[in-house]
Structure 1
Amino acid sequence: MSNTRSSAKRIAAAAEADGDPKAPRTERGRRTLRKLLDAAAEEFGEKGFHEASVSSITRRAGVALGSFYTYFDSKDALFRALVADMSQMVRTSARSALREGMGALEIERTALAAFLRFAAEHKEIYRIIDEAEFVDPASYRAHYETIAARFAERLRAGTAAGELREGLGELEAWAMMGINVFVGLRYVVWGEGPVAAEELAAGVNRLLAEGIARR
């Protein structure tokens, strides 16, 4: 819950910094924004963008319909804010699981396990991000480019520490992100029963460490 609250604060702060007149400037306003974002995640996750409605979102949030327009100009604007919010929460879930002194591969294993646990609690993220490709392509691209940049940053750090080979960069970052996304799709969204996050992350980690060639 603390991650979701801080995420709402970051969105509000960024909007205020950009001069957005709708950015909430009080704690009460930020709580209302959080309610709207959480309700939107449920609504869009269940119905998809086109079938979702502002009135249904405000009912879920327990917010007056008129209050919605204090924060957003339209359903489209709310959707863009939600994609940014979920993207930030994905990054935060991974970053908050990391600890000082972890090795490069341990970082990747821990970050993936954290993402899988997050996705298990927020399965709607897959539908929402997928729909963003068509509803708001710029948000869709920004989501993946930002996450890939974090992968590339960690790879560079691992190389600098002498733990990973030279020459790792954007290609490997996008490939690793793709593995994580589709492992989550198969075992979290399509899976049945509890998610074995640590076991799955360890399996992917072995793939990173050993590759697939016969030794």
Structure 2
Amino acid sequence: MMAQGSTAAQGPASPGKTPRTARGRETLRRLLDAAAAEFGESGFHDASISGITRRAGTALGSFYTYFDSKDAIFMALVRDMSSRVASASRAAIREGSTGLTLEREAFTGFLAFVREHKEVYRIIDEAEFANPASYRTHYEAIAALITARLEAGAAQGLLRPGDAEVRAWALMGMNVFLGLRYGVWDGERPIEDIAAVAGDMLGNGLAVGPR
């Protein structure tokens, strides 16, 4: 389950190259979308700047207007993907939702996003080797957001008090692998069914009878 809020610490373009016009922002968006397709299909090492610009329908010069290198657009793409995943989760949360209901709704948003953007898994996984700092930042930022949510739920009396950070990483791990199994590998099972099973496990645990 990816979290509410943005995980992007900076804008998507290279430092000093942020677009200042609507047309520039549109071009930047096309480049990022093209990069997602290029890196998602070819992987970091086989992907190329020319492949990205060809997919985006832009000139090579437009690429360097916003990015310094292939490494730079890959780092930007990891930040962008983190932000978009967070936005998808946030959009699925209904007004007034709290506690386990909020977590279930955020998960449904995440899984729906994964089914539409399966390339996110390859991109984030390759970041571990292509840019370890962005890989770690991606997960640490998400864990921090989930931790804050769990702490808020405990403060409201909706969740049992406990080590929210450890719980957040455990919850994130569960969601990541559910996304892999039911988002990337198989997208047929209804999202609500998967969310219900995960939610039941969170709410009731695995033990039989009273704790």
- Normalising by structure 2, what TM-score? 0.91
Match of 2:205 among 186, 190, 211: 211
| Superposed displacement of residue 107, structure 1 | 0.3
Matched residue type, 1:175: A
Q: Which moved more, 1:89-98 or 1:69-78?
A: 89-98
Give secondary structure in 1 for the equivalent of 2:177.
helix
Establish whether residue 157 from structure 1 lines up as the match of residue 152 from structure 2.
Answer: yes
Partners of 1:45 and 1:213 lie apart in 2 by: 40
Match of 2:191 among 183, 197, 200: 197
- Normalising by structure 1, what TM-score? 0.90
- 1:51-95: per-residue Cα shift (whole Å, max 9, x none)? 001001100000001211111010000000000000001111111
8 Å CA contact 2:89–2:109 kept in 1: the answer is yes
Match of 1:132 among 127, 133, 136: 127
Task: List structure 1 runs of 4+ shifted beyond 2 angstroms.
Answer: none
Root mean square deviation of aligned Cα: 1.9
The aligned runs of 1:44-59 (5 Å cut-off) are 44-59=39-54
Partners of 1:60 and 1:131 lie apart in 2 by: 21
| Superposed displacement of residue 194, structure 1 | 2.8
The aligned runs of 1:26-41 (5 Å cut-off) are 26-41=21-36
Establish whether residue 123 from structure 1 lines up as the match of residue 118 from structure 2.
Answer: yes
Equivalent residue number for residue 179 of structure 2: 184
Matched residue type, 1:11: G
Match of 2:67 among 72, 81, 101: 72
Q: Which moved more, 1:28-37 or 1:193-202?
A: 193-202
Matched residue type, 2:45: H
| Superposed displacement of residue 99, structure 1 | 2.4
- 1:96-135: per-residue Cα shift (whole Å, max 9, x none)? 2212321301101100011000000000000000000000
Q: Which structure exhibits the higher relative contact order, with contacts defined as CA atoms closer than 8 Å and separated by 6 or more residues?
A: 2
The aligned runs of 1:4-23 (5 Å cut-off) are 11=11, 20-23=15-18
Give secondary structure in 2 for the equivalent of 1:50.
helix
Give secondary structure in 1 for the equivalent of 2:82.
helix
Partners of 2:77 and 2:7 lie apart in 1 by: 10
8 Å CA contact 1:117–1:195 kept in 2: the answer is no
Unaligned runs of 5+ in 1: 1-5
Partners of 2:16 and 2:151 lie apart in 1 by: 39
Equivalent residue number for residue 147 of structure 1: 142
Give secondary structure in 2 for the equivalent of 1:214.
coil
- 1:160-202: per-residue Cα shift (whole Å, max 9, x none)? 11111111311000000000000010111111x5342111111
Partners of 2:79 and 2:198 lie apart in 1 by: 27
8 Å CA contact 2:7–2:79 kept in 1: the answer is no
- 1:4-42: per-residue Cα shift (whole Å, max 9, x none)? xx999x825xx69xxx32111111111000000000000
Partners of 1:211 and 1:135 lie apart in 2 by: 38
Give secondary structure in 1 for the equivalent of 2:44.
coil
Match of 1:89 among 84, 87, 90: 84
Match of 2:108 among 113, 117, 120: 113
Q: How many residues align?
A: 203
Establish whether residue 42 from structure 1 lines up as the match of residue 37 from structure 2.
Answer: yes
Go from structure 1 to structure 2 and tell me whether the alpha carbon gap of 1:7 and 1:183 turns closer, same or farther (over 3 Å shift). Answer: closer
